[in-house]
Amino acid sequence: MNKKPLILGIESSCDETAASIISENDQGNPIVMSNVVSSQVDIHKKFGGVVPELAARSHVEKIDWIVQKAIDDSGINIKDIDAVASTAGPGLVVCLSVGLSFGKAFAASLNKPFIAVNHLEGHALSPKLNSKLNYPYLLLLISGGHSQYLSVKNLSNYKRLGTTIDDAIGEAFDKTAKLLGIEFPGGPQIEILAKKGDPNKYNLPKPIFNKGGCNLSFAGLKTAILKISKEINTDQEKFDLAASFQKTVIEILYKKTKIAFAEFEKQNNPKEKKFVVAGGVAANKEIRKMLINLCKKEKYESIFPIIELCSDNAAMIAMVGLEKFKLKQFNNLDYPAKPRWPLDENAIFLKGAGIKL
Ligand code: KG4
Ligand code: ZN
């Protein structure tokens, strides 16, 4: 029997230091042998957001033992690792550099190939760790920094169908939480508070709802929340605002996803209609519920990563590494950290003032 590939993945693009070993079973399905994530939430909480210098320092302090733990947890022999895959972007350069340099040095010391991974591609492929998934598929990537609909045509072959023209959806959740006095990162807390609130209490705006194809916008929603948050006094009003915000986001995603479906079908004429939702916000159960129902109606198969693999982790980085390893797509050791690295390099940059849709 041929030896199955063993890939070490390393992630340090933002505020999670992570390492993972993955392999494959006889059917060619990936197996997560270890997945270690160390979050820096407690370090950044008091600043209300990620402080790059503190994040980088913490990555430096932890990276050795996180990688060691991933190797120990997997029970493998270090010499059997076939390739090392590190996140090279997008993200904070000071943070990326830690995992990238460590991964390159590790690969060189083992005399094994090094693979530079796009963090967003990690999210895009994360459901492959628990579901059979062939190309092409439609992806909704919803995280703290990105909100995009993409046609995933093949490995490293993406066509952007729509994106946010201002805030990312996770950012909107976090900013709303901050206005309600919830500690960073407040996104998951909004989901909890919303359960106790009336989603119809506040009528909030839905920017570019009726134009701009499946592009998204959340900045106007945040401004409306800012105004209302100044006038609320009771806990019940807080719950109602959280619920109204979440409902509005769900209505926006419902409409925009339908548009993305039509665009995906027009461009790809796919044999199978598959819809993948990935990124931190894909952990939100109400958003999941709505998208699953929409998929049933529109005859799409809905595919989500398991909840623990929605937020940043290294198993998804190793997953991209595994696919690239099988295609012998390796990188040189001078591969740079890339603060900006869109999945669709040909898509125009839409963020900023004065965008006309
Ligand atoms: O993918 P991720 O871990 O990091 C980035 O690459 O950005 O996503 C983090 C984002 C944060 O904005 C966080 O508040 C949001 O995902 N998030 C949620 C939930 N869990 C995480 N937003 C809404 N509901 C949740 N349950
Ligand atoms: Zn991420």
107 Cα–ligand 1 center, Å: 31
- What topology is assigned to 135-304 in CATH? Nucleotidyltransferase; domain 5 (3.30.420)
Q: Which atom of ligand 1 is nearest to the CA of 177?
A: 14
- What is the distance in angstroms between the CA of the first residue and the CA of the last residue of the chain? 56
Q: How high is the pLDDT of residue 294? A: 98
Whole-number Å distance between alpha carbons of 147 and 48: 21
pLDDT in tens, 61-77: 999 999 999 999 999 99
What's the pLDDT at 202?
97
For 222, what's the count of Cα atoms within 13 Å in the CB-facing half-sphere? 17
Q: Work out the widest C-alpha separation in the chain, in whole angstroms.
A: 68
Q: Which residues pair with 303 in a beta bridge?
A: 276
- Residues 257-280: pLDDT tens digits? 999 999 999 999 999 999 999 999
What is the per-residue pLDDT for 276? 97
Q: In what order do the strands lie in the sheet with 301-303?
A: 157-163, 147-154, 137-142, 274-278, 301-303
- How would residue 353 be classed by pLDDT, with cut points 50, 70 and 90? low
Q: What does the pLDDT average to over 50-54?
A: 84
Above 90 in pLDDT, residue 111? yes
**How far, CA to CA in Å, does 6 sit from each of 80, 91, 122, 178, 326?**
7, 26, 17, 42, 11
Residue 183, pLDDT score: 83
- Give the Cα separation of 322 and 236 in Å (integer): 49
Atom of ligand 1 nearest to the CA of 312: 3
Strand order in the sheet with 7-11: 30-39, 16-24, 7-11, 83-89, 114-118
Shortest-distance ligand to the CA of residue 49: 1
Spatial distance between the Cα atoms of 104 and 107, rounded to a whole number of angstroms: 5
> Which residues form ligand 1's pocket by a CB distance below 6 Å?
143-145, 170, 173-174, 185, 187-188, 191, 279-281, 283-284, 311-312
User: Quick one: pLDDT at residue 102?
Assistant: 98
pLDDT at 351 exceeding the cut of 80: no
pLDDT higher than 70, residue 142: yes
**DSSP letter string, 220-250:** HHHHHHHHHHTT--SHHHHHHHHHHHHHHHH
Where do the domains of the chain lie? 7-128+309-326, 135-304
Give the residues across from 21 on adjacent strands.
8, 34
Q: Does residue 83 surpass a pLDDT of 60?
A: yes
* Confidence at residue 121, expressed as pLDDT on a 0 to 100 scale: 97
Question: What is the residue with the minimal CA distance to atom 19 of ligand 1?
Answer: 188
pLDDT class for 333, splitting at 50, 70, 90? very high
Task: Tell me what pLDDT residue 278 has.
Answer: 96
What spacing in Å lies between the alpha carbon of 82 and ligand 1's midpoint? Answer: 32
Give the pLDDT confidence of 147-196 residue by residue, as tens digits.
Answer: 999 999 999 999 999 999 999 999 999 999 999 999 877 889 999 999 99
Same fold: 7-128+309-326 with 135-304: yes
Of 49-53, 82-86, 112-116, 351-355, the least confident: 351-355
| One-letter amino acid for residue 321 of the chain | G
Residue 341: both structure tokens together: 């690295």
Ligand nearest to the CA of 87: 2
Stretch 12-28: mean pLDDT, rounded? 94
Report the CATH superfamily, name and number, of domain 7-128+309-326: ATPase, nucleotide binding domain (3.30.420.40)
Q: What is the pLDDT of residue 149?
A: 98
**pLDDT for 225:** 96
Q: What is the pLDDT of residue 277?
A: 97
209-238 pLDDT per residue, tens: 999 999 999 999 999 999 999 999 999 999
Helix (H, G, I), strand (E, B) or coil at 52: helix
Q: Using the mean position of ligand 2's atoms as its centre, give its distance from the Cα of residue 37 in Å.
A: 13
Q: How many angstroms is it from 280 CA to the middle of ligand 2?
A: 7
pLDDT number for residue 90: 95
Instruction: Give the up-direction half-sphere exposure of residue 187: CA atoms within 13 A in the CB hemisphere.
Output: 25
